[in-house]
Structure 1
Amino acid sequence: MRRAKYPEDAVQSYTVFLRNENLPLLGPCTTPAYPSWMNDDHTPVEFSLILREASKSLVWFTFEPSTLPLAGDRSITTLRRTLERLSFHLEMQPQFDLEWFDICAEELLLAETQGSNCAQYFGFNFLKGLDCAHHSAIAKVYFMPRIRTLVSNETSVELLQRMTYRMDLVTPWEKISCFLARFLPGDRPEIEIVAVDCVPCAQNRLKIYFRTDILSYTHMKYFLTLGRSLSATGLRNAQLMWSAITQVTGEADSASPTQAPYFPSGLIYYELKQDDDSPSAEVYLPVRRYLPNDLGSIRLPIERLFSSLSGSSIPNDYPDFIQTVFSHRDLSIRTGIHTYVACTVKPGGSDISVYYSPEAFAS
């Protein structure tokens, strides 16, 4: 936050909030409480840096609340109360609203009445996050619909159909569902995550993350434009990112990530809003799968990418900066600190984001 030129009072406020209100929800500090969804070593927290012009970069974080206060109570009611409690303890926040959270919880989470085994699954159904602006913050909740689909025998597309109707997002959702209908069932990308902000409906965003293999730049472009039905504005940065990570050029080139037991493929994200008939898109490429260590991730794709971008705020001493922030090991040992590099594609420009794991449980 200091490197992104946050006001010092904001740095202190966010730090106290993270330490006092979020760390206690992350489970034991010595061994994983359970296999976390988030990172390869089961660290239940991730940080991201959205790189923009100087003094406009943003820090966000997401965490998996493995020990909601709580001791065994993982009900939707407990999750809702925890969100309300967190909102009361954060000084910088917009108007707080849980209407879309309630819709997602009803449609995507297992209800307490859906079987005696519900509790053992509930912890794997959601993540929480915070978008930390310089003078305000937005709380977010991420839902994993897969367990609900297994229990209800409904598809995630059917769940989203109901949700978007209730959220007045039918028009942008229809563009996504028409795109998905082009795929054969076995080739269709999976809905991995559905997320909303904890703000009033008119300002809210429904975010849908699809897990899919991204084989080439042409393939990635096809997803980012919903099969060429969306504007290609912002694709230049996406192409620069692809070329930097794969270290090749040309639309037909493919990347060859190393073998890995987790997150072998990329994420495509679509954002839906009530005041926009077309979704916007974002791509997440798992940079830790392409290079042998974090120092290589910096020296090749990240520095190469930002040297190509105008107005980038990446510092010249970025390797030293990252080594100082993540000081628990040398960056040249392996990959894992840099997890994803992401690029939005939307009118008005695109943002580049870098995602980090603090590797709390790594060897």
Structure 2
Amino acid sequence: MSKTLHTRRDPAVNFYSPIIPLSLISYLLSFKAGLESLFYSSKPKAPPEEPRTAWEQVTSEIQHRINRHEQHWWQRSGYALAVLLRNAGYSDVAQIKILEFFARRIANNLGVTNEPGAQRWKSFMTDDNNPIELSWDWHTGVERPTVRFSIEPVSLDAGGPSDPRNERAAPEFKKSVLQALPDTDMSWFDHFETFFSEGTDRNSVEGHPSKVFWAFDLGEKEVTSKAYFFPGYRARATNSTNLQVISEAIVSAPSCKPEKLGAFHAFATYVHEHEKSGAAPLELDMLAIDMIDPGQSRLKIYFRNRQTDFQSVRDTMTLGGRVANRDMDQGLARLRDLWDALFEQEGDSVPLGRADHRTAGILYNVEFRLGSVQTPKAKIYIPVRHYARSDAHIVTSVSKFMDSQRHEKRTGEKTGDTRLEQTPAEGQDPTSPASAAYAQALSTIFTDDAVSTRRGLHTYIACSVQTGGALRVVSYINPQEEKLRKPIPPSQQEEDSR
């Protein structure tokens, strides 16, 4: 009986675990933790996710709230703008703010998508009627570049039976801009818009149907606007010249007292003397204003000269010799260097190639503020889309020029010759960050073939002489749809990765 009791156990009551020392338990737990650490640390870590670009972030926010027309412009011109902003070095905060402005205020005012049977508005903004133009302001090569864009507001029905003259877009766009940019001063805009349309034949044309352009300067902290008006419609209606109409418009504008218009009168005198010389008349195309207080705003008059030799450029930039100083001499020497590089030619009297087009010849403007008694400042817009070999050649020529000017200004080298012959110091990279960024931006936006073998992406290369004789240079770009690389929306990227 005793033996039986020692061999039979109730498993629920009489089972006892062996006694294990605490030190051994601690050791075993420590060993287990070590194995787990070794196991998990040996597993490959997932690569960190690439941060989304500003364009991708804004796209995610707005893609379900915009119609197909807005989507068309956002996916094309909006993307091109985003690439320029990023490559120009704007902060992420600034990029997002600017792109949101474009998505909400601009994309819905550029007309219909390019689809079969669509009635597209024939905008004068670009030669292929694209209603938007982008620009990269190099400044003098030392400063960080800035980006801008210009548009003609276009309604969805523009050119069709319900809005044949694109009259619906103007008031709606003006209201939208004021909502987005409440500090915009509309006093001069209202005056000039009314003046240039008053008494005109609604069916008349001025070689194009466009009436008003808007432009936006994109700062790191704020967006400011400008407006452009065409005097030709009222000139035709009143049997006047464009200069006469521009003069009447300026003289009657708020704050424009006669004693404050000395610079304008100097320009008008130059125009009359140019005509008396027997040269082809200058064609005055546009009047532009800054949308700020009139006392601070610039007045800019755009005009075209059909002569394309550099001697004509020299005469126009100096307004017939009225501007004669060391800065202008140095600036013209630099302009000549850039001119020769762009067009691969030499000689002041050699004209550029023949181009029979409304925008052929050379475009200029003069700018001045109220109260300026000096001669206005002239700026040249070289229409490279008509005369340069290719867009790749334009990129190379402008980049080399800007790098050379940047190097000269930074090193302070003085050779006694104002022409840009300085070379970078030995071992120094001749390519500036801005030049590399610009080339990268264009290769990201456009196809290789569009840049390397054709022209038309660059519309103008604008140059103005600054204090000290340096050139301020701006590249104007037409985001031509058929030459764009099509970006993949973030939503599509997610689907493709599944």
| TM score, norm. by length of structure 1 | 0.86
Instruction: Using the TM superposition, name which of 50-59 and 186-195 deviates more.
Output: 50-59
Aligned residue for 2:405, secondary structure, equals coil
- Aligned 1:1-363 pairs, distance under 5 A: 1-30=85-114, 33-52=120-139, 53=141, 56-67=144-155, 72=163, 79-80=170-171, 82-90=173-181, 95-108=183-196, 110-111=197-198, 114-115=200-201, 117=203, 124-165=210-251, 166=253, 167-168=256-257, 169-184=260-275, 187-232=280-325, 233=327, 234-250=331-347, 252-257=348-353, 259=355, 261-278=357-374, 279-299=376-396, 301-310=397-406, 314-316=434-436, 318-327=438-447, 330-347=450-467, 349-360=470-481
Task: Measure how far apart 1:84 and its partner are.
Answer: 3.7
Of structures 1 and 2, the larger Rg is shown by 2
Aligned residue for 2:450, secondary structure, equals coil
Distance 2:194 2:465 in 1: 30
The one-character-per-residue Cα deviations of 1:45-86 (angstroms, maximum 9, x if unpaired) are 100111034663111101111218996396989735532421
Instruction: Using the TM superposition, name which of 176-185 and 14-23 deviates more.
Output: 176-185
**Structure 2: gaps (5+ residues):** 1-84, 408-431, 485-498
Task: Measure how far apart 1:177 and its partner are.
Answer: 0.8
Distance 1:276 1:319 in 2: 39
Q: Aligned pair in 2 of structure 1 residues 187, 118: CA closer, same or farther (>3 Å)?
A: closer
Q: Aligned pair in 2 of structure 1 residues 178, 118: CA closer, same or farther (>3 Å)?
A: closer
The one-character-per-residue Cα deviations of 1:327-360 (angstroms, maximum 9, x if unpaired) are 4853123111111111012446541000100013
Given that 2:88 and 2:437 are in contact with CA atoms closer than 8 Å, whether structure 1 keeps it comes out as no
- Specify the code of the residue in structure 2 equivalent to 1:107: F
Given that 1:27 and 1:67 are in contact with CA atoms closer than 8 Å, whether structure 2 keeps it comes out as yes
Higher relative contact order (CA 8 A, sep 6+): 1
Q: Aligned pair in 2 of structure 1 residues 150, 118: CA closer, same or farther (>3 Å)?
A: closer
Given that 2:122 and 2:208 are in contact with CA atoms closer than 8 Å, whether structure 1 keeps it comes out as no
Instruction: Using the TM superposition, name which of 153-162 and 47-56 deviates more.
Output: 47-56
The one-character-per-residue Cα deviations of 1:294-319 (angstroms, maximum 9, x if unpaired) are 222223x3234224312576323643
Structure showing the higher strand proportion among its residues: 1
Aligned residue for 2:194, secondary structure, equals helix
- Specify the code of the residue in structure 2 equivalent to 1:65: P
Identity percentage over the alignment?
22
* Count of residue pairs brought into register by the alignment: 356
Instruction: Using the TM superposition, name which of 8-17 and 52-61 deviates more.
Output: 52-61
CA root-mean-square deviation = 3.1
| TM score, norm. by length of structure 2 | 0.64
Structure showing the higher helix proportion among its residues: 2
Given that 1:47 and 1:357 are in contact with CA atoms closer than 8 Å, whether structure 2 keeps it comes out as yes
Given that 2:262 and 2:371 are in contact with CA atoms closer than 8 Å, whether structure 1 keeps it comes out as no
